Amino acid sequence: MILDRFKVDGRVAVVTGAGRGIGAATAVALAEAGAHVVLSARHAGQLQKVAAQVEEAGRRALVVPADLMDLQAVAALADAAQEEFGRLDIVVNNVGGTIPNALLDTDSDYLEEAFHFNVSTAHALVRAAVPHMLAHDGGSVVNISSVMGRLSGRGYLAYGTAKAALAHYTRLAARDLSPHVRVNAIAVGSVMTSALEFVASDEAVKASMESVTPLGGIGDPQDIAAAVLYLSSKAGSYVTGKVLEVDGGLDQPNLDLGLPDLNLGEKS
């Protein structure tokens, strides 16, 4: 049956940023499809709640609270999976993000921090995970990028640049690691997570975002989790080096930050 290709029975996944939102939904989806999951994020309490859902699905969860800006802590998740479960098959690089900022307020340190959080963390985990994947049947990496990695909008310079870098990292890593490790990414649109809580409380902003989105709504974390499962499972076994756009059809940013034009003659 075709649905069997979406099963990941006996596989082991590492999901970063797994305490809430897309990461939590992804961890639970992978568990429901058969995988044991290593969960990591900063807050242990959030991870424990997700772990309980993983266990309700009949799978095991390993909770690893960590500051994932620390590249050694991120890389250590691969060894933690090996030690706890004896293998590692799936990596979901979900941790990331950067607060929007005007260009003149985005200094070089801010830009480098965005790159570190969105790209360097992913590379640290991939590099640590690949030897464990090669020891068995290979594996799959899914990087969570963003629609802002391909669209332009004011205020998104650091975030969009970092996510664009992650998308191209995906293509390059896929070539380096083929044929045994597949590497893909998801360009995520606006998804109703804690980062968009203000949208839910402002009907005018929400309506504006929905009107710009061709499918007329804001995404759900499970929309992304389903795409991760596809790319992680045999269903996506002939896909590598690709960026899957799960964004409601966006061809322009749907959240205008309202940054004004710069004024000629204005001094800092």
pLDDT bucket at 256, cuts 50 / 70 / 90 = confident
Residue type, 105: D
The mean pLDDT of 167-189, rounded to a whole number, is 98
Contacts with 70 (C-beta within 8 Å, 6 or more apart), sequence order: none
| pLDDT tens digit sequence for 221-245 | 999 999 999 999 999 999 999 999 9
77-88 residue pLDDT tens: 999 999 999 999
Per-residue pLDDT at 19: 96
pLDDT, average across residues 98-108: 95
Is pLDDT of 38 > 90?
yes
More confident residue, 202 or 241: 241
What is the per-residue pLDDT for 261?
A: 93
Query: At residue 267, does pLDDT exceed 70?
Result: no
Please give the average per-residue pLDDT across 107-135, as a whole number. Answer: 98
List residues with catalytic annotation: 159
Q: Count CB atoms within 10 A of the CB of residue 205.
A: 15
The stretch 113-137 carries a mean pLDDT of: 97
Q: What is the mean pLDDT of the chain?
A: 95
Residues of the chain with pLDDT > 90, as a percent, come to 90
pLDDT (0 to 100) of residue 199: 72
63 pLDDT above the threshold of 80: yes
pLDDT at 195: 76
Provide φ and ψ at 204, rounded to 5°.
-70, -45
